[in-house]
A and B are shown apart, each in its own frame.
Chain A
Amino acid sequence: MAKPKRKTQRHVLTYMEDAVCQLLENREDISQYGIARFFTEYFNSVCQGTHILFREFSFVQATPHNRVSFLRAFWRCFRTVDLLTMKEYHCLLQLLCPDFPLELTQKAARIVLMDDAMDCLMSFSDFLFAFQIQFYYSEFLDSVAAIYEDLLSGKNPNTVIVPTSSSGQHRQRPALGEAGMLEGVEASLFYQCLENLCDRHKYSCPPPALVKEALSNVQRLTFYGFLMALSKHHGINQALGALPDKGDLMHDPAMDEELERLLLPFLRLAQVPGLVNSVTASPEASCLPSRTPPRVGSPWRPLHHSRKVDGESDASTEETDESET
């Protein structure tokens, strides 16, 4: 059968297997429920992308769709946090997936921090996009790393390379020896190798055209530079379809509404005079302990100030900014 068919067919099978497995596990509960209903709900949740919530890591990374759903869930749940260390982001990831491996988070952090100072703080959007690339394309990136190493050491990468799990980004960046005075590898050569890789790779790869675009305006590049470029590329992000554009990252009206509803009783309490002082002041001032700078306006306004900041909201005592769209 044709390859594309095999791919999709395989994924369907994965879900079928998982559904049956879930059925087996929760036999007693579901039998009261109705098996037909169960299957309906299961595949509905697969479509909605909620099936990966609180599931084990082996399932979460099983299919590209799962990965996308996971990324999306992570974004939606933790949109409001910012400026944390790698370990803290990992903690949050673990809230959604208890056995999520630290390795992946570390790799993602390396992309953001360019392999420096792993205890640095990272903004949510930086981390999220880097994490997206790392998580969705993990196998691809492993191979790319191997290719990069080879290019650096001058070998011809057009021979078949079997990526092993041990290869990859754990290697330190080699000293600039034979590669000459310039850092990294030549962009065009690198791209050729990538193209070859994409053709024969079993796992998902970023669309080659977009990769070419990302590499278009550089002569040479380093490995992490490449990854950083990938993560920042809007086109790739859109191709994945998991996360919105960077500018819209903080924008999720449905969740905002929910959040407002959740906070309403607290704020009502807070407005009782004498109960709490200074709550009517912008609560962002009392935000995350001493690390985040006080934000202007509502918390789900983007941090990057790419939108116009409404002067009104500075003095606003309302949590719900109806005026803001």
Chain B
Amino acid sequence: MIPGKYRSVSGRAANNVNCGLHLVIQTSSLPEKNKVEFKLNKDTSSFPGRLLQHDLERNYSSRQGDHINLVSSSLSSFPILQRSSEEKILYSDRLSLERQKLTVCPIINGEDHLRLLNFQHNFITRIQNISNLQKLISLDLYDNQIEEISGLSTLRCLRVLLLGKNRIKKISNLENLKSLDVLDLHGNQITKIENINHLCELRVLNLARNFLSHVDNLNGLDSLTELNLRHNQITFVRDVDNLPCLQHLFLSFNNISSFDSVSCLADSSSLSDITFDGNPIAQESWYKHTVLQNMMQLRQLDMKRITEEERRMASVLAKKEEEKKRESHKQSLLKEKKRLTINNVARQWDLQQQRVANIATNEDRKDSDSPQDPCQIDGSTLSAFPEETGPLDSGLNNALQGLSVIDTYLVEVDGDTLSLYGSGALESLDRNWSVQTAGMITTVSFTFIEFDEIVQVLPKLKIKFPNSLHLKFKETNLVMLQQFNALAQLRRIDQLTIDPQGNPVVNFTLWKYYVLFRLSHFSMQKINGTEVTQNDMIMAERLFGILAHVASSELPQYRLISILGDARKKQFQYLLESKGKKPGIINEENNDSKRLVGENTNRATLNYTTRDFYNEKLEEIKEKKKFCKTYIEDLVKEATEINMKNEALQKLWPQMFIELVRDAVIEIRNKNSYMKLCLQQITDQK
């Protein structure tokens, strides 16, 4: 075969070799002009470093100088390389074929002891014809057109493999390269990290400018110190904590947006240098201190040394966040407990109502019950619930371990509002409230409590919470207008809110007017959120004014006394007498003030006795009534007897009178004998 064209190839062995010493790579042709220093630890395999020491100072630029001939063999399409013997002796272990416009790897004969081979800046598409170079330590194929890693299976001594700026799509066929120290695959089309787990001596791995979307499968790289993953599309990183020696990790210009996606970094104790610039995460306000507080071992971030100050700031912020989280957790726990309690109270209330309404069907419901998860219960539903509290929601189980009993009532103070749920809460009014807390309360809210029970604690409310101006009632069984009478005993009410839910009285169109009428002395400002207008007051008076008048002036005195008690009686008497004295005088101011005061007292007789009390009273009266009945009957009997006797006497009297007279006349008929008889009687008496 006619040999191919001769070419003189610069064989200057300006290779990038890493040995036990420094290695400098200047990638000047690449846009990023980073000078990467590889600092190696002392435990590298022994390598005749002395030989290559002077290589360190050399630039990585191609130079002509060596005399190498490329002869194309007639036997194959591959050119055959030949070097002059001088060259062979001078540079016996290195061969540089860069910028030789090679499209294929030439056959290299007689150079089996070669250790450094440089194929940079060619057009080679496949790695071939180098399997005989079994002593090769460094192979540089930077900037070629290689599409697949192959042909390396015999290079068991290979330490440095540079395949940057090629067209490699997949990492493969590196099985035998167990001594590999540096693997450079930057600028390729690799999408996945694989088939490198056996490279336990690999110290530097460069996968920058590839198409990686995530990082994992890094186990086995027990010597890896530097991992370059710049300019990929990485969204999450895993397995880094399996790299015991990793110190430098470059993740610049990827797609990492939260620290969670790189959370394994926090577990790596060896990492001291990391870059995240160019990622979305670096734009976040919490970026720096989050990274710092999660990676306390870090010394350098984004190529800037981390100062003590920054570290301190980070830990302080970390503590603050922890606090906040704990607080909010506590808050949510409390809220949950509150919600559960309120649900429980609601259930009790519903049961109670149903029991009152319909005992028979309630029994049926009890039988067919199935335990329900209390957390799913909406307090407003009226379906039947089991008597016992069901199992806690498993999600809260751990958190609520300490709260083994769900309360049947809830008392809550929230700024100026005191909320009471469930009748048990009423007892809490007896507690020792601090003057400050009690003084701040302006709103008291009652839910799931019978109004009749609330009535009984209203005096306590008056004393303990003197500033309560707004009362709210929900699910309190307000059914009669009279019940509002009970509110009159309070000191003052500015606002009243009666929630329609559970309070049938709201369905009456006149309820608001009645409230305004009965509680007119409070001059209430709002009812159920709407302002009270003058017209409302007038209407209320018009509707119920006569009732008040009747209740005060037409009741007999003794009724007034019994209803009001002695103290008010005097006040009343004064008023009524004065009314009587000045019937027609139009002294307007006097009248007005009296009217207004009178208005307050003239409806004082409109009281409310709770149903239970009322029934009790009626029961008591029954006894008395029975007694009265018998008493009166006896009196009547007596009276009729006396009457009868009287009548009988009347009838008999004429006759008796006549007889009396006749007897007397007969006696005196004979004067003499009568005189004698009388004298006889007188002497007999002595």
A44 and B556 contact, CB distance less than 8 A: yes
B558 and A33 contact, CB distance less than 8 A: yes
Contacts A94-B482, A262-B549; A20 near B508 (Cβ below 8 A):
no
Q: In chain A, what residue has the closest Cβ to B622?
A: A58
B558 and A26 contact, CB distance less than 8 A: yes
Query: Inside 8 A of A269's CB, which chain B residues have their CB?
Result: 534
- A80 contacts partner chain B, Cβ-Cβ < 8 Å: yes
**Stretch of A166-174, A226-234, A285-293 on the interface side:** A285-293
B451 to chain A: closest CB distance in Å?
15
Chain A, interface residues (CB within 8 Å), range: 35 or more
Query: Inside 8 A of B635's CB, which chain A residues have their CB?
Result: 16
B32 to chain A: closest CB distance in Å?
78
- A182 contacts partner chain B, Cβ-Cβ < 8 Å: no
Chain A 9-29 against B: per-residue CB contact (8 Å), 1 yes, 0 no? Answer: 000010011101110111001
B577 to chain A: closest CB distance in Å?
15
Within 8 Å by CB of A283, from B539, B629, B636, lies B539
A25 and B632 contact, CB distance less than 8 A: no
B586 to chain A: closest CB distance in Å?
10
Chain B 546-584 against A: per-residue CB contact (8 Å), 1 yes, 0 no? Answer: 111111001111110111001000000000000000000
Interface residues of B in 580-611 (CB under 8 A from A): 591-592, 595-596, 599, 605-606, 609
Contacts A29-B562, A56-B618, A81-B510; A13 near B632 (Cβ below 8 A):
yes
B547 and A25 contact, CB distance less than 8 A: no
B545 and A262 contact, CB distance less than 8 A: yes
Within 8 Å by CB of A261, from B591, B621, B625, lies B591
Bound state CA distance, A20 and B544, in angstroms? 32
Within 8 Å by CB of A94, from B480, B545, B548, B562, lies B480
Bound state CA distance, A99 and B612, in angstroms? 12
Within 8 Å by CB of A91, from B481, B546, B561, B614, lies B481
Within 8 Å by CB of A87, from B508, B533, B614, B621, lies B508
- A193 contacts partner chain B, Cβ-Cβ < 8 Å: no
Q: In chain A, what residue has the closest Cβ to B480?
A: A94
Chain A 125-159 against B: per-residue CB contact (8 Å), 1 yes, 0 no? Answer: 00000000000000000000000000000000000
Within 8 Å by CB of A270, from B534, B562, B605, lies B534
Bound state CA distance, A287 and B533, in angstroms? 12
- B509 contacts partner chain A, Cβ-Cβ < 8 Å: yes
A288 and B509 contact, CB distance less than 8 A: yes
A263 and B538 contact, CB distance less than 8 A: yes
Contacts A53-B555, A73-B550, A91-B480; A266 near B508 (Cβ below 8 A):
no
A22 and B558 contact, CB distance less than 8 A: yes
Q: In chain B, what residue has the closest Cβ to A292?
A: B509
Bound state CA distance, A22 and B542, in angstroms? 33
Within 8 Å by CB of B546, from A17, A42, A259, lies A259
Contacts A94-B481, A266-B534, A270-B538; A13 near B636 (Cβ below 8 A):
yes
Query: Inside 8 A of B566's CB, which chain A residues have their CB?
Result: 29
- A54 contacts partner chain B, Cβ-Cβ < 8 Å: yes
- B98 contacts partner chain A, Cβ-Cβ < 8 Å: no
B631 and A20 contact, CB distance less than 8 A: yes
B567 to chain A: closest CB distance in Å?
12
B542 and A299 contact, CB distance less than 8 A: yes
Contacts A283-B538, A286-B539; A42 near B558 (Cβ below 8 A):
yes
Chain B 445-458 against A: per-residue CB contact (8 Å), 1 yes, 0 no? Answer: 00000000000000
- A267 contacts partner chain B, Cβ-Cβ < 8 Å: yes
- A50 contacts partner chain B, Cβ-Cβ < 8 Å: yes
A276 and B534 contact, CB distance less than 8 A: yes
- B677 contacts partner chain A, Cβ-Cβ < 8 Å: no
Q: In chain B, what residue has the closest Cβ to A50?
A: B554
B542 and A38 contact, CB distance less than 8 A: no
Q: Is the interface of B mostly helix, strand, loop or mixed?
A: helix
A80 and B538 contact, CB distance less than 8 A: no
Q: In chain B, what residue has the closest Cβ to A261?
A: B595
Within 8 Å by CB of B556, from A13, A25, A50, A264, lies A50
Within 8 Å by CB of A26, from B551, B561, B605, B629, lies B561
B519 to chain A: closest CB distance in Å?
15
- B507 contacts partner chain A, Cβ-Cβ < 8 Å: yes
- A192 contacts partner chain B, Cβ-Cβ < 8 Å: no
B644 to chain A: closest CB distance in Å?
12
B561 and A29 contact, CB distance less than 8 A: yes
- A76 contacts partner chain B, Cβ-Cβ < 8 Å: yes
A263 and B542 contact, CB distance less than 8 A: yes
- B624 contacts partner chain A, Cβ-Cβ < 8 Å: yes
Within 8 Å by CB of A20, from B510, B545, B591, B632, lies B632
Q: In chain A, what residue has the closest Cβ to B547?
A: A77
Chain A 271-290 against B: per-residue CB contact (8 Å), 1 yes, 0 no? Answer: 00001101100010011110
Query: Inside 8 A of B207's CB, which chain A residues have their CB?
Result: none
- B628 contacts partner chain A, Cβ-Cβ < 8 Å: yes
- B543 contacts partner chain A, Cβ-Cβ < 8 Å: yes
- A98 contacts partner chain B, Cβ-Cβ < 8 Å: yes
- B292 contacts partner chain A, Cβ-Cβ < 8 Å: no
Output the residue of A50, A51, A264, A268 with the most chain B CB within 10 A: A50
A88 and B509 contact, CB distance less than 8 A: yes
Bound state CA distance, A53 and B562, in angstroms? 13
Bound state CA distance, A53 and B558, in angstroms? 13
B589 to chain A: closest CB distance in Å?
10
- B97 contacts partner chain A, Cβ-Cβ < 8 Å: no
Bound state CA distance, A51 and B555, in angstroms? 7
Query: Inside 8 A of B591's CB, which chain A residues have their CB?
Result: 261, 264
Bound state CA distance, A95 and B618, in angstroms? 17
Query: Inside 8 A of B510's CB, which chain A residues have their CB?
Result: 81, 84, 88, 91-92, 288
A51 and B556 contact, CB distance less than 8 A: yes
Interface residues of A in 25-48 (CB under 8 A from B): 25-26, 29-30, 33, 38, 41-42, 44-45, 48
Bound state CA distance, A264 and B509, in angstroms? 25
Output the residue of A20, A25, A259 with the most chain B CB within 10 A: A20
A53 and B554 contact, CB distance less than 8 A: yes
Bound state CA distance, A283 and B633, in angstroms? 56
Contacts A95-B481, A279-B534; A48 near B545 (Cβ below 8 A):
no
Contacts A29-B561, A33-B558; A21 near B624 (Cβ below 8 A):
yes
A253 to chain B: closest CB distance in Å?
13
Bound state CA distance, A53 and B628, in angstroms? 21
B482 and A95 contact, CB distance less than 8 A: yes
Q: In chain B, what residue has the closest Cβ to A73?
A: B550
Contacts A30-B558, A263-B538, A266-B538; A24 near B546 (Cβ below 8 A):
no
Bound state CA distance, A54 and B595, in angstroms? 23
B609 and A98 contact, CB distance less than 8 A: yes
Query: Inside 8 A of A262's CB, which chain B residues have their CB?
Result: 541, 545, 548-549, 595, 599
Query: Inside 8 A of B541's CB, which chain A residues have their CB?
Result: 259, 262-263, 266
- B29 contacts partner chain A, Cβ-Cβ < 8 Å: no
B546 and A255 contact, CB distance less than 8 A: yes
Chain A 92-132 against B: per-residue CB contact (8 Å), 1 yes, 0 no? Answer: 10110011000000000000000000000000000000000
Q: In chain A, what residue has the closest Cβ to B563?
A: A54
Query: Inside 8 A of B535's CB, which chain A residues have their CB?
Result: 276, 278-279, 283, 286
Q: A13-B633, A24-B627, A275-B534 are in contact. List 5 more A-B contacts (CB 8 A).
A: A88-B508, A91-B480, A263-B545, A265-B596, A279-B534
What are 26 A-B pairs with beta-carbon distances under 8 A? A13-B632, A13-B633, A18-B628, A20-B628, A26-B561, A30-B558, A30-B561, A42-B558, A53-B559, A76-B546, A84-B510, A88-B508, A95-B547, A98-B609, A255-B549, A259-B542, A259-B549, A263-B538, A263-B542, A264-B591, A264-B592, A265-B595, A266-B538, A276-B535, A286-B539, A288-B509
Closest 9 CB pairs of A and B: A276-B534, A26-B562, A45-B556, A262-B545, A286-B535, A50-B554, A41-B556, A20-B628, A21-B628
Binding site for A on B (CB under 8 A): 480-482, 505, 507-510, 533-535, 537-539, 541-551, 554-559, 561-563, 566, 591-592, 595-596, 599, 605-606, 609, 614, 618, 621, 624-625, 627-629, 631-633, 635-636
